[in-house]
């Protein structure tokens, strides 16, 4: 301890050494902060979490049959079966799997159509398994998509992992607003292409119905009325014949429900040999309706068949028509691919549109010819990230102000409060450098996350405690009549032990935290931040204390 006291004393007595301390601190601060824009340390809201389960969502194009969808799931299951870590696989055809956190916001609970399927994959316990679930997803995704998507053209297969934090629709969601639905469809396609080409993005999907060919039966009103039928009757019988209906109910004591009597044409007789207008007309010719007089009239005599395009579902958000384009990130943070894709979009669309920036990253496209407006907003995890970082930033600033006010109340001096605040703020050096160190030593990218920020905020309080005890002790010694520099040196040396002790406690308590995927950021922020805080409060703060006139002899 005596040695340390001497070192501090010699620093305080030499102008050059004091300058050196201040300069090195400044350099470290600038250097560490620069790690963020230079992408040496990457930011992400929350990192991936290894789980014992993940899901595969299969979307065949709108209008596909359950049989086609099943073919795709069989192919997916074949690949999954080969994995030795897969315990069991549940396939849900035509409906969503039992709801989970991810499915909640992805609309899994509402799914009910022939062109969708969800597969739940349960893995062996994560503690005994070598491969993390997100690494497995990363490895299998291209394999599954490559071999299974071509089975039905236009199929989209997504690999869904359980979110580590709050669930979002997708990592990246582009909301495209516009009135002209045809144009919106085209732009959406172009955006999807750009996203697909962006490195780090996978599972790109345009959330809209595909347009497919269908037949429209136009009822000839005159013929219907003349033949003594009604349009309602025609509609009903057609539905009854091909889709079927419950026409009566039987109550039963042995069955948990009423037993419906379901009437439909037999599969064999209603089947068309191929997708054509002619075949449909033939089939309708054999289906007859009975009019009031008891005469039988074939359906095809009162209707004409037209081949048309299906009309897709119209989506809107906050009263504006919208199409969502979603993409997931593959082991990377969503921030950088987004910026990448955004600049590509700006370049691509500037040919036909005037592109302007609106709020934050959002873009507005104005058609050069027609003047129509299209808005392109970013949502999904990106928006949650932005909001969270903004809010945490706000919380951080509020914390700074609160600490400052508290210190002013306690010391009745702005200068001393400023020293404490500056001392604690500088622990950010440790936080950022710590993330860089961890990134170097771990296999996958170690992100600066929301929990790192929480750690940093907590750290502010801890390092202010160090400075506080130091200043308090110094003032106490000066009151006892010691010379200022001597007092600072003695105080620093005396407080060094408890400061080291408490720091060691925090570091040791956080080492287990650092291993956690989600709270790793917090742990690392605390460990390295504390180290920096100790260095700063034992070397940097004494220099400032010596320089300020607020601490008087």
Taking CB under 8 A as the criterion, the residue among 17, 270, 364, 485 binding other proteins is 270
Does residue 13 interact with other proteins by CB under 8 A? no
Cα-to-chain-centroid distance, residue 309: 35
Does residue 508 interact with other proteins by CB under 8 A? yes
Between CA 378 and CA 384 the distance in angstroms is 10
* φ, ψ (nearest 5 deg) of residue 14: -115, 120
User: Least separation, in Å, of the C-beta of 337 and other proteins?
Assistant: 21
Does residue 94 interact with other proteins by CB under 8 A? yes
Residue 404 · residue 203 · CB < 8 Å: no
Nearer of residues 355 and 428 to other proteins, judged by Cβ: 428
User: Least separation, in Å, of the C-beta of 199 and other proteins?
Assistant: 27
Does residue 272 interact with other proteins by CB under 8 A? no
Does residue 311 interact with other proteins by CB under 8 A? yes
Instruction: Say how many Å lie between the first and final Cα of the chain, rounded.
Output: 24
Kindly give the interhelix angle for 428-441 and 15-34, rounded to the nearest 10 degrees. Answer: 50
Nearer of residues 95 and 305 to other proteins, judged by Cβ: 95
Indicate the Cα dihedral angle 138, 140, 143, 146, nearest 10°: -70
Strands 373-379 and 363-367, how do they pair? Answer: antiparallel
Taking CB under 8 A as the criterion, the residue among 3, 37, 81, 369 binding other proteins is 81
The residues in 151-170 that bind other proteins, with binding defined as CB under 8 A, are 165-168
Does residue 373 interact with other proteins by CB under 8 A? no
The residues in 250-269 that bind other proteins, with binding defined as CB under 8 A, are 250-251, 255-257, 259-269
Does residue 457 interact with other proteins by CB under 8 A? yes
The tokens describing 342, both together, are: 């955004």
Does residue 413 interact with other proteins by CB under 8 A? no
Residue 93 · residue 73 · CB < 8 Å: yes
Taking CB under 8 A as the criterion, the residue among 137, 184, 289, 432 binding other proteins is 289
Determine which helix (DSSP H) or strand (DSSP E) holds 198, and give its type and residue range.
none
- What is the DSSP code string of 431-489? HHHHHHHHHHHSSS---B-HHHHHHHHHHHHHHHHHHHHHHHHHHHHHHTT--HHHHHH
Nearer of residues 352 and 516 to other proteins, judged by Cβ: 516
Cα-to-chain-centroid distance, residue 27: 35
Taking CB under 8 A as the criterion, the residue among 39, 87, 221, 368 binding other proteins is 87
Helix (H, G, I), strand (E, B) or coil at 355: strand
Nearer of residues 36 and 458 to other proteins, judged by Cβ: 458
Nearer of residues 186 and 390 to other proteins, judged by Cβ: 390
User: Least separation, in Å, of the C-beta of 487 and other proteins?
Assistant: 9
Mark 437-456 with x for binding to other proteins (rule: CB under 8 A) and - for no binding: -------------x---xx-
């Amino acid at each position: 301890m005596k040695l340390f006291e001497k070192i501090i004393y010699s620093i305080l007595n030499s102008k050059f050494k004091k300058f050196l301390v201040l300069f090195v601190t400044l350099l470290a601060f600038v250097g560490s902060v620069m790690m963020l824009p230079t992408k040496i340390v990457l930011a992400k809201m929350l990192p991936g979490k290894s789980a014992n389960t993940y899901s595969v969502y299969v979307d065949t194009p709108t209008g596909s049959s359950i049989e086609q969808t099943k073919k795709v799931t069989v192919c997916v299951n074949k690949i999954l079966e080969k994995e030795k870590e897969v315990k069991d696989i549940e396939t849900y055809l035509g409906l969503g799997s039992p709801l989970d956190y991810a499915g909640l916001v992805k609309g899994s609970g509402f799914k009910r159509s022939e062109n969708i399927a969800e597969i739940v994959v349960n893995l062996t316990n994560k503690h005994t398994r070598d491969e993390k679930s997100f690494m497995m997803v990363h490895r299998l995704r291209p394999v599954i998509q490559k071999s299974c998507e071509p089975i039905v053209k236009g199929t989209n297969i997504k690999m869904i992992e359980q979110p580590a934090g709050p669930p979002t629709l997708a990592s990246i969601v582009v909301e495209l607003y516009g009135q002209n639905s045809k144009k919106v469809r085209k732009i959406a396609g172009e955006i999807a292409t750009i996203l697909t080409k962006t490195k780090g993005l996978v599972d790109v999907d345009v959330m809209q119905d595909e347009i497919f060919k269908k037949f429209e039966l136009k009822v000839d009103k005159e013929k219907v009325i003349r033949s003594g039928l009604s349009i309602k009757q025609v509609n009903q019988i057609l539905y009854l014949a091909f889709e079927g209906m419950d026409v009566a109910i039987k109550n039963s004591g042995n069955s948990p429900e009423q037993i419906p009597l379901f009437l439909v044409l037999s599969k064999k007789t209603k089947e068309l040999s191929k997708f054509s207008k002619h075949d449909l007309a033939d089939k309708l010719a054999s289906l007859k309706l009975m009019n009031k007089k008891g005469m039988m009239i074939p359906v095809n005599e009162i209707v004409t068949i037209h081949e048309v395009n299906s009309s897709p579902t119209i989506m809107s958000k906050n009263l504006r028509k919208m199409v969502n384009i979603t993409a997931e990130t593959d082991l990377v943070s969503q921030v950088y691919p987004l910026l990448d894709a955004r600049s590509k979009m700006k370049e691509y669309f500037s040919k036909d549109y005037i592109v302007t920036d609106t709020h934050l990253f959002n873009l507005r496209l104005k058609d050069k010819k027609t003047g129509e407006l299209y808005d392109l907003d970013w949502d999904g995890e990106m928006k949650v990230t932005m909001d969270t970082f903004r809010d945490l930033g706000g919380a951080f600033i509020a914390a700074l102000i609160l600490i400052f006010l508290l210190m002013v109340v306690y010391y009745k001096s702005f200068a001393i409060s400023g020293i404490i605040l500056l001392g604690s703020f500088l622990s950010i050096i440790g936080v950022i450098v710590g993330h860089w160190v961890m990134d170097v030593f771990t296999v996958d990218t170690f992100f600066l996350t929301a929990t790192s920020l929480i750690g940093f905020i907590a750290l502010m309080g801890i390092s202010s405690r160090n400075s506080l005890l130091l200043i308090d002790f110094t003032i106490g010694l000066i009151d006892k009549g010691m010379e200022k520099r001597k007092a600072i040196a003695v105080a620093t040396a005396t407080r060094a032990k408890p400061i080291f002790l408490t720091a060691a406690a925090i570091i040791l308590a956080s080492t287990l935290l650092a291993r956690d995927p989600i709270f790793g950021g917090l742990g690392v922020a605390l460990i390295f931040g504390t180290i920096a805080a100790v260095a700063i409060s034992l070397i940097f703060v004494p220099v400032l204390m010596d320089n300020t006139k607020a601490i008087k002899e």
